[in-house]
Amino acid sequence: MLSRKRLLLILVLILLLFYLSPEIVSQSFSWYGETNPTINYGQNTASATYYFTYNNLSGLYYPGLIIAVDGSVINNDLCHNPSTPSSYTIYFTEGNHTVKFSLLSVNPYTLNCRDMLIHQVVEFTVNVKFQIRNQNIFTYGIIYVNDYSTPKTSPYNRTSKQNDNYLIGAIDQSYAGYNWIWNNSGINNSKWVRRKSNMTENDHSYDRNTNYIVQSDDKNTILIAGLRKICNITFRNSFVGISNDGKIQVNGITYDLPTSAFNVVELNPIVAS
């Protein structure tokens, strides 16, 4: 039978081991932060800040929260000033990224920074979207994006990712003293133009209402609705010292003067004689 003193001593030793051994005491952290950030129009990266709280780190040798993105450590490791930050901001490019948080410490028996104890590892995926701008050729006004029931204010920045398929539509409207229309009868017809961030352009569609499939390189791309303005032109005779009346031909039709203004779409011909 063990004596009472021996039992007490064993109990004390067990308690000491429980509180002092880094392998027995549970060390952990909790975190929160954005997992679906968006690169705003005009920017090249999206920032996401992560916040941390820690449990039972006292007694650990050089504890460190190691942060890795897509397999590469982006903060200090155990051999280079390890730390346990309360927050950390990561800057992401578009697409999917794997983020790993690892709570580590140096083995107290070897004191070798490459001989580590692993206390907790968290791994998750961050999905980063970007924005495409949709606007009229004169920048402002209204425009359809996503659906044809509710006009959006132009320019409208749509949060997107590769292979998104969405609707766009042009709206006839007045702006800056002109009526603007979707022209498809004549020359200088309307069209949708895709302008990339490097300012290169290509025609997308000649249809007023169409759809667009987002490409991998569409960050900061602009889709432009090529409305055309209607110009009002008045023709008249000039009989010096008499009047401006009489007759005149416009597009082959004879009119009595004075006439009202003729409407013509910009850069389209009108003939008077």
pLDDT tens digit string along 109-156? 999 999 999 999 999 999 999 999 999 999 999 999 999 999 999 999
Q: What percent of the chain has pLDDT over 70?
A: 85
Cα–Cα distance, 76 to 78 (Å, whole number): 7
User: Which is more confidently placed, 181 or 234?
Assistant: 181
Average pLDDT over every residue of 14-32: 65
**Tokens standing for 36?**
């679906």
Of the candidates 37, 90, 101, which has an alpha carbon nearest to the alpha carbon of residue 67? 101
* pLDDT in the model for residue 23: 45
The answer to whether residues 157 and 129 touch, using CB atoms and an 8 Å cutoff, is no
Residue 8 has pLDDT above 60, yes or no: no
Average pLDDT over every residue of 234-238: 73
Residue 82 has pLDDT above 60, yes or no: yes
* pLDDT in the model for residue 273: 76
Backbone φ, ψ for residue 39 (5° rounding)? -80, 115
Of the candidates 169, 171, 170, 185, which has an alpha carbon nearest to the alpha carbon of residue 263? 185
Which residues partner with 160 through β-bridges?
A: 130
User: Which is more confidently placed, 119 or 1?
Assistant: 119
Average pLDDT over every residue of 70-74: 97
Average pLDDT over every residue of 44-49: 98
- Counting every residue written for the chain, the total comes to 273
**Tokens standing for 255?**
């009119």
Confidence of residue 21 (pLDDT cuts 50, 70, 90): very low
